[in-house]
Structure 1
Amino acid sequence: MTSEQQQVILRIKQLLMQSQYQLVISSCNEILAAKTAGTDHILIKSLQLPVELTPALEKESLYLKAVACRMHGEHTTAIASLNLLIEQFPDYGRAHQELGYCLLKTDQKKAAYCFYQATQFNPALLSSWLQLESVYNADRQQQALTLCRQQITFLKALPKPVLGATDLMYEGQLHKADQVCRQFLQEQPHHPEAMMLLAEIGVQLKAYSDAEFLLESCVTLYPDNDKAAMAYQTLLAKLGKFPQAVKIAEQRLAKAPDSFSVKVGLAHALVGVGDLHRATDIYQRLLNDNSDRPAIWVALGHALKAKGDTKEAVTAYETAIEHAGDFGDAYWSLANTKTYKFTPALLAQMAAQVSKSSISLEDKIHICFALGRGYEDRGDAELSFHYYQLGNSLKKRTLQFDIRRTESALQAQKSAFAKKDFNKASGCQATDPIFIVGLPRAGSTLLEQILASHSKVDGTMELHDVLGIASSLSQHATPYPMNVTSLSDEILLQLGEKYLSQTQAYRQQAPFFIDKMPNNFIHIGLIKKILPNAKIIDARRNPMDCCFSGYKQLFGEGQEFSYSLSDIGRYYNAYKDLMEHWHKVLPGEILTVHHEDVLDDLEGEVKRILAFCGLEFEEACLAFHKTKRVIKTPSSEQVRQPLYKTGLGQWRPFNSFLTELKQELRVKE
């Protein structure tokens, strides 16, 4: 929020504390009425304060209006405001809590569910936990009561600033949470909960370097704090530093050999380094102890899928559904094999789950994407798009993504690098890395599989190391990317060697290796400064096919631009514009490979790619689908088959629904 908006909200909150409910309601109504009228700026007459209208201000206005209405005895109006608020911001914990208070006297069962939902979206809401404690105690739900009381004890033990910052973080006020937490740490520099919280806020702000340093320091200071070790291990895995994550997991297991969560964490990290045999062994032993663990069945399925055992993976996903019929990740995992066909009965079961009021938001999102895929396979474009659109809209509402910030970030790359800034004599001179960049769903996994079939090339995965280096450079006085061209030759060499050292664990014995992180297209300037001899391949696909394929995909993390047709179209345009800049300032250094050309002339394109990489032609690259290797991207099953063209023009049956995307891409048909 801007300072102007914060002043308005602060004034309304003051009025609420003074019990001036009618003035609060009228002020909020002015804001909401202006939003309905499509006005950008208004003067709130009841407060005599000007303000710019934004979704964040609308969200706070709906919430404060509901609180004032409840306190004024207008429960029906309060509930209507809260239902509208939750529809627009389904993960807003305080809205669910307030709805619980509104329903306490009329529908205690529904009120209890609202308090439960509130704690799922914001575990720092002590009031909701206290309400649930009464419910669980009255219903004699002993296991739930125990967990509830543990959380209450934990929250009550937190210093008030840390609890407040935790609440702010879960409500999406990240910068304010960061400020409160840092102020507390100035007074108590090594408070473990505050250090872990600041790291978690850093992750959400994508300040990964800061977060990693904080958690590493916390683990060093408190070696027996397993919560800190788990947070550190989770972040390492998120950053793609799986070898380090395995090391931390094994240290944790040595201290707690019987811990279920530690074993699961180790198995997840082992999947990351490609040790699938050991990972699946851990998952299967956990399931032998207790088969009613749907999340473990799904994790096992992911490991089996990465190994190429698709049939066994499908069985694992189906078993998860048998144990939990509302477990959305299991349905989406089936859809995400790209080869599984849902039966009419299973589609009906999924649709019934989505319509349940008790289903969690995360499960609903997953099932919507799975239904979209299921009905697309059956040729029902209208129903398919309905679910794709619903899943995307729900997912987007949980994100704080603004395409304008991304466009500015890509423009900054253009401003930061000119042709004169590149000198092949500086940086690390290694020729090992081959970067495959582009948009997700553009055919990069196919190109990786082709190259990884060569005897002199190791396939790895989507490595996070360039993103990590870029993040570390953001901490300088002159932020990244504007500071890259001023780095000394010594630092450029060190950064290039750091990249090679960090990625060594993912390699085998081949002289070349692939880094298939699509988003690295943003950082090509950085890559060519620290690794001037690295090869860069830009995977391209017909923009409509590429963008719509991304819109249909529920990504594990990142790719936040993909949950809106407008956003994904604008992102494609910004990507294309930046790639044109890289070609101008780095002539001949980037090879663009169009997916459609590969389908039309596999041998010709393979020879062109190999020549660009300085590799001799090998027949194995044409028989890429026979290559056995770990693949963890959504296209894993597709690249284990010979080439086919059924993916071309998949957007056309949905043509009438894609006007927004076509307008952004300037497609006329």
Structure 2
Amino acid sequence: MTTPDSSPSSRAPAAQLAHATSLTRSGRLAEAGALLLPLSKTHPSDPLVHRALGELFTARRDPRTALSHLQLACRLAPESATNALELGRLQAATGDFDGARLSFGQATQLDPALFEAWFLLGVTYMREERQAQALPFLRRAHQLQPTHPDATRALADAEFHAGTAGDALPLWQEVVAARPGDVNARLRLGETLNRLVLLDEEIANYEDALSLLPESADIWMALAQTREDGGAREEAIEAYGRALRFKPGWVTPLAGLLALQRKDAPDALVDQAIAIQARPDLADRDRALLGYALGKIQDSRGMHAAAMASWHDANAARRRMSGEYNRPRAEEDARRLMEVFDAGFFAHPQAAVGSHDGRPLFVVGMPRSGTTLTEQIIAMHSRAHGCGELPDLPLIVKTLGTRWPDIARDLEPGLLEREAARYLQAASRHAAADVLRLVDKTPLNYFNLGLVALLFPQARVVWCRRDPRDIAISIYSENFALNSRFATDLDAIAHSIALQTRLMRHWQSVLPLPIHELQYEALVESPEPEARRLIDFLGLDWEPACLEFHRSNRTVQTPSRWQVREPIHRRSSGRWQRHADSLPAFDPDSFPAADPGRID
């Protein structure tokens, strides 16, 4: 098969092509077609004609015909980066992301200075939620055109979602400086500052935005949530109220007001929420938000059956949004971890180690098992720093993909060192230079302790345990992230607790890391003895300030933010008894041992 002649003599008149392209872009498609279709017959070997036809048929919403012309243009002029770029645009627009990546990649090779190719290659990865893969291409695009607003914005978004919020921050600041009245940019800058726990800067960003946009409900809503993170209850209530005033009927600030005021919420506000909840056309997102908040108010007022009905309604809505808990998948994930990280895996010293830094401390357990309280106690020590819930370990696992944990024995050279260094940079961002413990209290890191042992063989682990019935009620009544599918079904919660227990017992038997069991009920019953045992496990001297955590002004970004601003109390123990008839059976091993404080 021969390729048609594409010599200069076979080229169509440039003026006609330019005019036809101008007609296409101005929407005069019939006139453009009247010029281009004859040219395709008289100059069938001209790649510029087929590129123009590709643009025309794209505008005509005939992607199949457009694709055939652009593919032919690429074959006729394989050295043309522009042809590859235009083919990639069409492939991306029609959902052929694999083909688009190949075309954009070819364009970058043909013309390494072609900004659009690097930019669109990165954006294509972003559309597939593959932020880590997008980064090198978006960084290159930003280098080529550092003032391009869309490239800066895309790179900021990729850096944030890839876990490099510190790199995203100056980029979002650039975007906001160029567009100070851009609400979305203000919100994304605030989200980045929130991830970096720069609360004062986050508030300043929102207050500056409100000086320009005083009636922006979205900005008032974000300010309310930030005020709540900082423990400023009255200021948060005021900001939620402003958001609701500027956007009447908006469920998000309404739910925020209900959650903050609980049993003291005004009856008119509660009645408004009940009326909205009763609407059959209420969106599932709003139904879930209202159901969780109303249930807590009803529970605090002794209306336990009504509370459970609200929580059932909320969780049914959330399951419709995010799907059911996948029990077989959870079992398989745990099985693979235990199979790979068996006793033999750690029988001999690992050839590659991330870091011998002994500061990392991982507080794990089921959500609502006391992890926030535990972190607060430790963070009050002068030689410890509370990092909150760092996203870094889950992001490393996400980057490794579906091959993890099977590739644990054959990791890319240098990966552990790079990831350990990045983790330590994030964990120590706000820490004093002389701290001896960096506390990461991401509860579900119990899945990632095999990775922890590779990254930080000198790390310590605290396993928080609590009566599974109290954990179940506390999780079921709380508004968790959409991907927390286990949280929306009581049987799924019971299964998750049992699976967590089984996995933690496995880690205790194979990991070369010390693991301290801390029982919530024992801690609230005997705070000082249990706190002393905890601090001793960390290798630190006792400091009385550890029991004064409720006086701390630390930012707390978990549902426990208000509980840990009070002295230790027993009010949350035994809460399950109000809802005993609704609870499933629990695996006996899920209950904490009578003698807590076990160290392996």
Counterpart code for 1:445: T
Superposition CA RMSD, Å: 2.9
Q: In 2, are the aligned partners of 1:372 and 1:383 still within 8 Å (CA)?
A: yes
CA distance in 2, matches of 1:418, 1:667: 22
Cα distance in 1, alignment partners of residues 382 and 328 from structure 2:
43
**Do 2:384 and 2:439's aligned partners in 1 also have CA atoms closer than 8 Å?**
yes
C-alpha contact (below 8 Å) 1:338/1:635 kept by paired residues = no
Query: Does residue 529 of structure 1 match 2:454?
Result: yes
Task: Give the 3-state SS of the residue equivalent to 2:439 in structure 1.
Answer: strand
Residue in 2 that maps onto 1:162: 92
Match of 1:501 in 2: 425
3-state secondary structure, aligned to 2:450: helix
State the secondary structure of the residue aligned to 1:505: coil
Cα deviation 1:43-102 (Å, max 9, x = unaligned): xxxxxxxxxxxxxxxxxxxxxxxxxxxxxxxxxxxxxxxxxxxxxxxxxxxxxxxxxxxx
Instruction: Classify 1:548/1:197 alpha carbon distance in 2 versus 1 (closer, same or farther; 3 Å).
Output: farther
Matches within 5 A, 1:120-135: none
1:576 corresponds in structure 2 to 501
* CA distance, structure 1, for counterparts of residue 580 and residue 272 of structure 2: 28
Q: Note if contact 2:457-2:513 (Cα within 8 Å) is conserved in structure 1.
A: no
* 1:51-62 superposed matches below 5 A: none
* Rounded Cα–Cα distance in structure 2 between residues aligned with 1:287 and 1:358: 33
Q: Is the 8 A contact 2:132 2:158 kept in 1?
A: no
**Residue 407 (1) aligns with residue 331 (2):** yes
Q: Match for residue 240 of structure 2?
A: 317
Shift of 1:545: 0.8
8 Å contact from structure 1 (residues 570, 665) kept in 2? no
Contact 1:452 1:459 in 2 (8 A): yes
Aligned counterpart, 2:307: 384
Match of 1:543 among 459, 468, 475: 468
CA distance in 2, matches of 1:615, 1:339: 39
Question: 1:459 & 1:616 partners in 2: Cα distance?
Answer: 17
One of 374, 383, 404 as aligned partner of 1:447: 374
- Aligned mates of 1:191, 1:181 — CA distance in 2: 15
Asked if structure 2 preserves the Cα contact closer than 8 Å seen for 1:185 and 1:191, the reply is no
Name 2:438's counterpart in structure 1: 513
Compute the displacement of 1:163 (Å). Answer: 4.0
Against the structure 1 CA distance between its residues 491 and 667, is the aligned structure 2 distance closer, same or farther, given a 3 Å change threshold?
A: closer
1:456 is the counterpart of 2:383: yes
In structure 2, the gaps of 5 or more residues are 1-86, 106-116, 592-600
Q: Does 1:469 align with 2:392?
A: no
Please tell me the residue identity of whatever aligns with 2:97.
C
In structure 2, the residue matched to 1:356 is 279
Deviates more, 1:510-519 or 1:186-195: 186-195
Match of 2:528 in 1: 603
Q: Measure, in 1, the Cα distance between the counterparts of 2:530 and 2:361.
A: 16
* Greater Cα offset, 626-635 or 494-503: 494-503
Tell me the amino acid that sits aligned with residue 418 of structure 1: D
Change (3 A) 1:415 1:551: same
Instruction: Give the aligned residue type for 1:638.
Output: Q
Give the residue type in structure 1 aligned to 2:342: A
Amino acid at match of 1:413: L
Q: Conserved in 2, the CA contact under 8 Å of 1:321 and 1:327?
A: yes
Find the counterpart in structure 1 of residue 406 from structure 2.
482
TM-score, reference length from structure 1: 0.68
1:19: which partner in 2?
none
Partner of 1:656: 581
Partners in 2 of 1:393 and 1:213 — Cα distance? 41
Count of residue correspondences: 490
Residue deviations 1:434-486 (CA, integer Å, cap 9, x gap): 111111111100000000000001112210111122223337xxx21122133
Amino acid at match of 1:499: Y
Cα deviation per residue 1:283-307 (whole Å; 9 max; x = unaligned)? 1233343433222222111211222
Structure 1, unmatched stretches of 5+, are 1-156, 166-179
Distance 1:582 1:520 in 2: 12
Letter in 2 for 1:435: F
The yes-or-no answer on 1:636 pairing with 2:561 is yes
Q: Does 1:431 align with 2:361?
A: no
CA distance in 2, matches of 1:632, 1:587: 31
Pairs within 5 Å for 1:390-401? 390-400=313-323
- Offset of 1:251 from its aligned partner? 2.4
- Relative distance call for 1:547 and 1:587 in structure 2 (3 A) is farther
Of residues 97, 109, 125, the one that matches 1:198 is 125
Q: Mapping of 1:130-141 within 5 angstroms?
A: none
Q: 1:417 aligns with which of 341, 361, 368?
A: 341
Q: In structure 1, what residue type is equivalent to 2:100?
A: F
Residue number among 556, 562, 565 corresponding to 2:487 in the alignment: 562
- Alpha-carbon contact 2:88-2:101 (below 8 Å) kept: no
Q: Could you tell me which residue of structure 2 aligns to residue 55 of structure 1?
A: none
Aligned pair partner of 1:270 in 193, 209, 215: 193
CA contact (8 A) 1:473 1:480 kept: yes
Shift of 1:338: 7.7
Deviation at 1:511, TM superposition (A): 3.1
Conservation of the 8 A alpha-carbon contact between 1:270 and 1:278: yes
Q: How does 1:202-241 map to 2 (within 5 A)?
A: 202=129, 209-210=132-133, 212=135, 215-216=138-139, 219-220=142-143, 223-224=146-147, 226-238=149-161, 240-241=163-164
Change (3 A) 1:447 1:236: farther
Q: Aligned partner of 2:419: which letter?
A: L
- The sequence identity of aligned pairs, in percent, is 24
Quote the offset at 1:595 in angstroms. Answer: 0.7
Provide the rounded CA distance (Å) in 1 between the counterparts of 2:222 and 2:530: 36
**2:216 aligns with one of 289, 293, 316:** 293
Bigger-Rg structure (1/2): 2
Give the distance between the partners of 1:358 and 1:229, measured in 2 at CA: 39
Which has the larger displacement, 374-383 or 258-267?
258-267
Which position in structure 2 is the counterpart of 1:16?
none
Distance in 1 (alpha carbons) for counterparts of 2:521 and 2:278: 40
Q: Secondary structure at the match of 1:651?
A: helix
Measured after TM superposition, the shift of residue 325 of structure 1 is: 3.4
Q: Secondary structure at the match of 2:264?
A: coil
Tell me, yes or no, if the aligned pair for 1:545 and 1:650 is still in contact at 8 Å: yes
| Amino acid across the alignment from 2:256 | S
CA distance in 1, matches of 2:219, 2:88: 32
Q: Deviations over 1:553-604 (max 9, x none)?
A: 1124542221122222221111111101001102661111111111111111
State the secondary structure of the residue aligned to 2:479: coil
Distance 1:265 1:226 in 2: 15
Secondary structure at the residue paired with 1:459?
strand
Q: Distance in 1 between matches of 2:585 and 2:214?
A: 48
**For residue 403 of structure 1, what is the amino acid of its counterpart?**
R
Output one character per residue of 1:313-342: Cα deviation in whole Å (capped at 9) or x when no partner: 122122222333322221332344486632
Bigger Cα displacement from structure 2, 630-639 vs 323-332: 323-332
Paired amino acid for 1:287:
L
Asked if the contact 2:100/2:124 (under 8 Å) is kept, the reply is: no
TM-superposed CA distance for 1:262, in Å, is: 2.4
When normalised by structure 2's length, the TM-score is 0.75
Encode CA deviations 1:113-147: one digit per residue, 9 max, x unaligned. xxxxxxxxxxxxxxxxxxxxxxxxxxxxxxxxxxx
SS in structure 1 at match of 2:302: coil
In structure 2, C-alpha distance between the alignment counterparts of 1:612 and 1:196, rounded to whole Å? 47
The answer as to whether partners of 1:407 and 1:571 remain within 8 angstroms in 2 is no
- Displacement of 1:191 after TM fit? 7.2
For the structure 1 residues 256 and 286, does the alpha-carbon distance in structure 2 shift closer, same or farther, using more than 3 Å as the test? Answer: closer
